[in-house]
Amino acid sequence: MPEPIFFTLTSSPALLESVAKHYQGKIANINLRHFPDGETFFKIEDDVKDRPVVIVETLDHPDDKVMPLMIAADTVKRLGAHSVGLVAPYLAYMRQDKAFSAGEAISSQTFAKLVSEHFDWMVTIDPHLHRYHDLNEIYTIPTQVLHAAPIVADWIQNNIESPMLIGPDSESEQWVSEMAKQINAPYLVLEKTRHGDKDVSIKPVPMDALAGHTPVLVDDMISTGRTLIKVIEDILPETPNQPVCVAIHAVFSGDAFEALKATQIGDIVTTNTIKHPSNRIDISTILLQNEYLSPN
């Protein structure tokens, strides 16, 4: 296989460099800018003919990224790339997985269609699979899902004394139960109802089991932060040990980070699938398990 070409449009150079180095690829020189009217200009300086091309782009704020991404993928294909793959540590548009009322878009399907039309394969970390059980229900290209749970669990084990893992909703059970098993910690899963973007309620439960433990709230992502804020404010009693939030994807929309910090939270820890000041767990080694690339 000829030397693969890697680049990112806007994402962390550290993740790009680690993946490119592992697969002994070249990091391409690209020119990405916007014309005065806001349209995207993209140029790749390297020869991609007959070479596999990999774009490493995390997909938070996807609407700003999608046009440049599709233009970049189309450009390298037109220039004769052998294939074009997408490594998206965070995959967007997974939560609108059904029309909750008549007339609503199912944007997860639209997004999947768009990516499937422009890429040959995709690798991502812990996409929000709730009503879908597999990405192939909406993506028509080969996809590989990697999991951050093992290294997140390691972090909890190495940094928190006597943790009690708490998942805020039924979706979180998949991560929380795995992590709890790995580190032999107790866990519980709460019941959440979402009433609006920033309006959730959590069913009250007795927290007797918490005695002697540090509550560790575990979620796949923090977006508005309202899920975890609600758990901290309404469910967790005044525990001697302040709760810690650990999430895989640091989406943090609007004032989410500040609002979460303003609670009685002890610490907020995320992985670097999305660059954020709360990043403390490095997922770069997980991205080296890519089954569509082989180290030379």
DSSP conformation letters of the chain: -PPPEEE-SSS-HHHHHHHHHHTT-EEPPEEEEE-TTS-EEEEE-S--BTSEEEEE---SSHHHHHHHHHHHHHHHHHTTBSEEEEEESS--S-S--S-SSTT---HHHHHHHHHHHH-SEEEEES---SS-SSGGGT--S-EEEE--HHHHHHHHHHH-SSEEEEESSGGGHHHHHHHHHHHT--EEE--EEEEETTEEEE-----GGGTTSEEEEEEEEESSSHHHHHIIIII----SSPPEEEEEEE---TTHHHHHHTSS-SEEEEETTS--TTEEE--TTGGGG-TT----
Our CB check for ligand R5P shows the closer of 25 and 168 to be: 168
Question: Residue 51 or 226: which CB sits closer to ligand R5P?
Answer: 226
Nearer to ligand R5P, 57 or 171 (CB): 171
Closest contact distance (angstroms) between CB of 105 and ligand R5P is 18
Cα–Cα dist 172/226, whole Å: 15
The least CB distance from residue 229 to ligand R5P, in Å, is 8
Question: Least distance in Å: CB of 78 to ligand R5P?
Answer: 37
Rounded to a whole number of angstroms, the minimum distance from the CB of residue 253 to ligand R5P is 7
Could you tell me the CA-to-CA distances from 203 to 134, 161, 223, 235 in Å, in that order?
A: 29, 27, 20, 8
Q: Taking the complex as a whole, how short is the minimal distance between the CB of residue 135 and ligand R5P, in angstroms? A: 16
Question: What's the CA gap between 270 and 36, in Å, rounded?
Answer: 36
| Choice between 20 and 217, CB closer to ligand R5P | 217
Q: How far is the CB of 278 from ligand R5P (least distance, A)?
A: 13
Residue 255 or 291: the one with the smaller Cβ distance to ligand R5P is 255
Nearer to ligand R5P, 120 or 220 (CB): 220
Q: Which CB sits closer to ligand R5P, 75 or 107? A: 107
Supply the minimum distance, in Å, between the C-beta of residue 102 and ligand R5P. Answer: 22
Q: At what angle do helices 173-183 and 149-159 cross, to 10 degrees?
A: 50
Kindly list the residues in this chain that would bind ligand R5P in the complex (CB under 6 A): 168-169, 171-172, 200, 219-227
Is the CB of 50 or the CB of 173 nearer to ligand R5P? 173
Q: Which residues contact 39 (CB under 8 A, 6 or more apart)?
A: none
Task: Give the nearest distance from C-beta 108 to ligand R5P in angstroms.
Answer: 13
